[in-house]
Every structure is written in C-alpha cells, then in structure tokens.
Copies of this chain bind each other. A is one copy, B any other.
Amino acid sequence: MFEARLVQGNLLKKVVDAVKDLVTDANFDCSSSGFTLQAMDNSHVSLVSLSLRSDGFEHFRCDRNMSMGMSLGNLAKILKCAGNDDIVTMKAADDGDTVTFMFESPKEDRVSDFELKLMDIDSEHLGIPDTDYAATVTLPAAEYQRICRDLSSIGDTVVISATKDGVKFSSSGDVGTANITVRQNTTADKKEEQVSIDLKEPVALTFALRYLNSFAKATPLASHVSLSMARDLPVMVDYQISDMGHLRFYLAPKIEDEDGGDMEGQDEA
C-alpha cells in the first residue's frame, strides 16, 4: 500500500494549483524514495517535473512502486476543501482504483476524507538529460512573476539575456518595446531580495511568455526561482520546495535567429 502524511498540507494544494492549468491529467509515481510527477503539458510544448522526497513527509510508506493517474482538476477541487493548516494524508491500496485524501484540522476537531477515482493515463516517461547550463540566474520568485506578467502586455515572447552583470528581459510588440534588467546583488539587502547569476558564458534565448506565465503559478511554493539556460536547449525553470524537492518546468527556446550570440537584433523581431 501507499500512505504519506504531510503536515504542511497546503504545499500539495499549491503544487496542484501550479500544474493544473498546464496538465489536465497526470500520473503521480510513488516509490520508496518519494512522490514524483512528470508530464508534457496539454499542447506538448513544455514539460513539468515534480519531485517530493519521502523524507519530507512526516510519514511515508510505499510498499510497491505505483503510478496513480489523476485528473488534476478534480484533485484541485478536493484539495481546495482542506483547511489551510490541515494535515493531509494520502492513502492508496496496491490494487485499488482510488486514492483517499484525509484532512485533519490542527485541533483534531474536524476530519474529512475524500476519495478520488484513479485513471489510466499513458505515461510517456521522457528522460531529462543532465545538462551543462551556460547560465543560471536566481531571483525572487514574485519579482520574476511580475516581470513575466508585465511583459505579457507588451509582447508574446521574451528574450532572456544573461550576462555577468545581470539578466535582461526584453519584449516587443504593437505597443512598443520593453527591457527589464535585474542586476546581480548577492551582497547585502535581505535574503529575500537576492539575485545571483552563475555564468559560464553569456546566453540569450527567446521564449513564449504564455508558458512562462503558466510556470509562474508555482510562485507561492518558493521564495526564489532559478532559470538555467544553454544555447538552443530548453530553459529549466526551477522552484525549490524547501526540505522536500522541487517543481521544475522545461521549455524549448524559439529559434528565430541562427546567431544566438548577439540578441540585440531580436528586439525588432
């Protein structure tokens, strides 16, 4: 059987809220090492990868590897019924076709249980190659979300350029053009506001803002987000879930220009 008890139940709610607009149905894979999900989005453009390690749960038992297919919309409805401070326990029998979510209020005066029907979903387990990224920029998740949202009102795509000094987000469209530059500041300030850049070589890639905005639904999960990029390879947008794992998104860049080195020209594209 599978049984996992998560004290910080709202974390699960945040994860599902972040993914459900991208992926309608997905397999959750359980093993003794933890709880993972990997899926292409509905339009098969981007890839979502969730990993929650078993040691992040208060209690975790998985006798046998199992893959549980769920409707993320229905799962979200159920998780919405949990109180914000509730403890969530998931249970599934090895041979069952349902999974049960139990919510306990902190004061133990209310207990709810919800049973969700499992679905058969073709799992296309795409391996994600270990990539040697040219640049990884880390910035406050809320600030990044704001940037993506703001640029959406200017254009459909954004050019993200990382240099040793900072990261520049550029868009253009009918309205005009926009450039938002965030400087590296590992120094003083509050930890919350730190921006760091790990750069092997400068890189500039173009992405569809529509997907970046969907990914940014994960903002409540983490204080910071990191963007890892390499020329002509998908960006990895990484939200670390403290003490438990991560929620990552992958999106291939638009290839508009054979010369990826100097992206200044793309502002007009």
Q: Does A130 contact B (CB under 8 A)?
A: no
CB-CB < 8 A to A154: which residues of B?
A: 77-78, 81, 114
**Minimal beta-carbon separation of A12 from chain B (angstroms):** 16
Q: How far is the CB of A92 from chain B (nearest CB, A)?
A: 13
9-residue interface stretch from A60-68, A175-183, A228-236 = A175-183
Digit string of A165-202 for contact with B (CB within 8 Å is 1, else 0)? Answer: 00000000011111111110100010001010000000
A110 touches B175 (CB 8 A): no
Number of A residues with CB within 8 Å of any CB on chain B: 37
Indicate whether A131 reaches chain B with its CB closer than 8 angstroms. no
Which residues from 99 to 134 on chain A have a C-beta closer than 8 Å to any C-beta of chain B?
A: 107-117
User: Can you offer 23 A-B residue contacts whose CB atoms are under 8 A?
Assistant: A74-B175, A74-B176, A77-B175, A78-B154, A78-B175, A80-B153, A81-B151, A98-B176, A107-B189, A108-B183, A109-B182, A109-B189, A109-B193, A109-B195, A110-B182, A110-B183, A112-B181, A113-B178, A114-B176, A114-B179, A115-B177, A115-B178, A117-B176
A-to-B contact residues, CB < 8 Å? 71, 74, 77-78, 80-81, 98, 107-117, 143, 150-151, 153-154, 174-183, 185, 189, 193, 195
Q: Which 9 A-B pairs have the closest CB atoms?
A: A81-B150, A112-B180, A74-B175, A116-B176, A77-B153, A115-B176, A115-B177, A114-B178, A111-B181
